[in-house]
Amino acid sequence: MTKNIICPAKINLFLEITGKREDGYHTIDTVMHTVSLSDILHIDVTRGEGRIKLSSNGSAQIPTDEKNIAYRAAQKYISAFDIKGYDISVVIDKRIPVSAGLGGGSTDGAGVFRALEEIFRIGDKKTLDDIALSVGADVPFCMYGGCMRARGIGEILTPACEMPGKMCMVIAKGSRGVNTAKAYSDADKKSSYVPKMADQMIKSLEKGDRSFAEHLFNRFEETVFADIPEIAEIKEFLVRGGAFASLMSGSGSAVYAFFDDKKNASAACEGLISRGIFACVTEPFGKADF
């Protein structure tokens, strides 16, 4: 049994840190949207002894053992549903940059869950959602995609209106990644602030036009930009190149930008690539695209 699964990246249209729990986990209020930049998973399930094998065409940064979310997703699935007598092979065609705030690991884990559910058809959505969360906070969202508001530690999901039409976007990432734990730690050191809420973003998306761009927000930008100026420089380059809005995704280091037309987007993309920076033209990837 073979499955080829598209695993789209995600961007954060809004991201606020709303608190910190006693167990050390931070609570957030965020609006996430999947985009067409995607990894491709090739998954084979054959009769065997319960072995899991994972490989990737990507860089050495990508682990091929339990450190990889996709590997852990396969482990969790076969354990939770007591599946025996099958070997699982996962090959990741890696296209989403790592350590970028684009959910590259989470979407691969979600892709494994989606593929295995298509193969075994257990149909236990509650258990599947629970084990998805146990693998990573963004994995439940990446299971379904589209646009959703996430609260708590990311597990409280509410569907939201998707971005309008085929908006033209550029995603770019410089040479450095961002360590998520450090990003949260640096944010904790800042003076206290009154958390923003994503309500205005949600309302603006309901209008079906580009007014949502007025409410783009990411709490991490201030501290991450100070630590890695290159990220702020990439954002400035995209805005100078004609983007009508731009924001860092997640805890970084990728930046995305919206353009009125593909010509300007392509020119900005090529300008970044010529400087040795990863960049690609992409567009929203809706729930119906899954």
10 is catalytic: yes
Q: Cα torsion for 78, 89, 287, 8, to the nearest 10°? A: 130
- Which is the catalytic residue, given 39, 138, 173, 235? 138
From the candidates 10, 76, 173, 235, give the one annotated as an active-site residue: 10
Pairing label, strands 245-248, 168-173 = unpaired
**Residue 284 DSSP code:** B
Cα gap 39→268, rounded to integer Å: 23
The C-alpha atoms of residue 180 and residue 210 are separated, in whole angstroms, by 29
Token digits of residue 274? 């010529």
The DSSP string of 245-279 is EEEE-TTSS-EEEEESSHHHHHHHHHHHHTTT-EE
The SS3 assignment for 10 reads strand
State how far the alpha carbon of 175 is from the alpha carbons of 114, 172, 245, in Å. 32, 10, 22
Contact 102, 37 (CB under 8 A): yes
CA–CA gap between residue 118 and residue 79 (Å, rounded): 17
186 neighbors 219 (Cβ within 8 angstroms): no
Closest CA to 101 of 19, 191, 22, 35: 35
138 is a catalytic site residue? yes
User: Strand 2-20 to strand 217-218: parallel, antiparallel, or no bridges (unpaired)?
Assistant: parallel
Point out the residues that are catalytic: 10, 138
